[in-house]
Amino acid sequence: MINVVIFGAPGSGKGTQSAFMIEHYGLYHISTGDVLRDHISRKTELGEIARSYIDKGNLIPDDLMIDILASVIDEHRSDASKGFIFDGFPRTIAQAEAMDKLLADRGMRLNCVVGLDVPDEILIERLVNRGKESGRSDDNPETIRDRIALYYKVTSPLKDYYCRRGLFHSVKGWGDIDLITAGVWKIIDDSK
């Protein structure tokens, strides 16, 4: 089993690289953003709560997010015999700590955390363009800036958290897409 966290700022390409990893390694993809957006579109109770945070570019509270992750893992363990890609989780130190425990309790562990490095100007350009097509409520210029700021404040410290455990590796996340993909796959292959 290979369990990978794909890590990076909003718009860094986590979803794009996840799609290639699903295809190449047969991993099961958990995107917490997709899980939440699915609840919003189905108008569930959780969706209503999630919307109030997402629309403002805020994070969903840790306790709630950790419960959601645990239930998605348990629901899909049989689909994930090759392992999981975690996309959009963890986003805080508390989530990372909870994840370590959650995986250990299930006899699983992380193989690596793959960070996608992309300069802010490129992130903003990508997200503004995505917003024009996706209609995602949080892909508008003001909310994009807030999300990137929040990423630097609460999420990027996770690099140190995982570096200390020898799990963090990053690749240049802009330019030739095939090169980015090759970089991601090399990190995963080396972590087997």
Tokens matching residue 147: 């999300």
What DSSP character marks residue 88? S
**Among residues 46, 49, 59, 94, the one that binds ligand ATP under rule CB under 6 A:** 59
**20 lines the binding site for ligand ATP (CB under 6 A):** no
15, two tokens? 């979803």
The angle at the Cα of 55, spanning 69 to 46, to the nearest 5 degrees, equals 40
- Interaction between residue 131 and Mg ion (CB under 5 A): no
Among 5, 7, 14, 118, binds ligand ATP (CB under 6 A): 14
CA 126, 127, 129, 134 torsion-angle sign:
positive
Q: 168-172 and 112-117 as β-strands: parallel, antiparallel, unpaired? A: parallel
Contacts of 152 (CB under 8 A, 6+ apart): 9
Q: What are the phi and psi torsion angles at 137 (to 5°)?
A: -60, -25
Interface stretch with ligand ATP, choices 8-16, 72-80, 172-180, 181-189 (CB under 6 A): 8-16
C-beta of residue 85 within 8 angstroms of C-beta of residue 18: yes
Does position 115 interact with ligand ATP (CB under 6 A)? The reply is: no
Q: How many positions of this chain bind ligand ATP (CB under 6 A)?
A: 21
Indicate which of ligand ATP, Mg ion, none lies near residue 11 (CB less than 5 to 8 Å, by partner kind): ligand ATP
Given ligand ATP, Mg ion, none, residue 89, with its beta carbon under 5 to 8 Å by kind, binds ligand ATP
CB of 15 to Mg ion, least distance (A): 4
- Told to check if 15 binds Mg ion by CB under 5 A, we report yes
Give the C-alpha separation, 158 to 164, whole Å: 10
List residues binding Mg ion (CB under 5 A): 15, 33
List residues binding ligand ATP (CB under 6 A): 10-12, 14-15, 32-33, 36, 53-54, 57-60, 65, 88-89, 91, 95, 138, 147
